[in-house]
Amino acid sequence: GDSVTQTEGLVTLTKGLPVMLNCTYQTTYSPFLFWYVQHLNEAPKLLLKSSTDNKRTEHQGFYATLHKSSSSFHLQKSSVQLSDSALYFCALRTGGYKVVFGSGTRLLVSP
């Protein structure tokens, strides 16, 4: 069935370093992916969503590229800030327009 895999449960980094949070998916339908971010004691909110194959989408310094060849939509940022510490969810829109969320990756940025 349709699924999303986020391999890292926790990523810890020092501020200023680059980050990549992994997201791979499985679907038999045309994929449409989202990244949601949830800060502590807040609700999840959309960070960015996919465009066409191999096209990069960006928002607030984060970027991701949908690669259908590798079924991936990894989230990246060139220089993380303390305020980026949060829980990040990758989500897949499947056939029938159901959305499946990954298990989440917690990013902790230290000074």
Partner 1 sequence: DPKIIQKPKYLVAVTGSEKILICEQYLGHNAMYWYRQSAKKPLEFMFSYSYQKLMDNQTASSRFQPQSSKKNHLDLQITALKPDDSATYFCASSQVRGDTQYFGPGTRLLVL
In the shown chain, the binding pattern of residues 18 to 57 toward partner 1, with x for contact by CB under 8 A and - for none, equals --------------x-x-x-x---xxxxx--x--------
Of 74 and 93, CB closest to partner 1: 93
- Number of shown-chain residues binding partner 1 (CB under 8 A): 21
Contacting residues for 111 by C-beta, under 8 A, at least 6 apart: 14, 15, 82
Is residue 93 a contact point for partner 1 (CB under 8 A)?
Answer: yes
What does DSSP assign to residue 55?
-
Whole-number minimum distance, CB 111 to partner 1, in Å?
26
Q: What is the rounded distance in angstroms from the CA atom of residue 48 to the CA atom of residue 95?
A: 20
Q: Are 73 and 67 in contact (CB under 8 A)?
A: yes
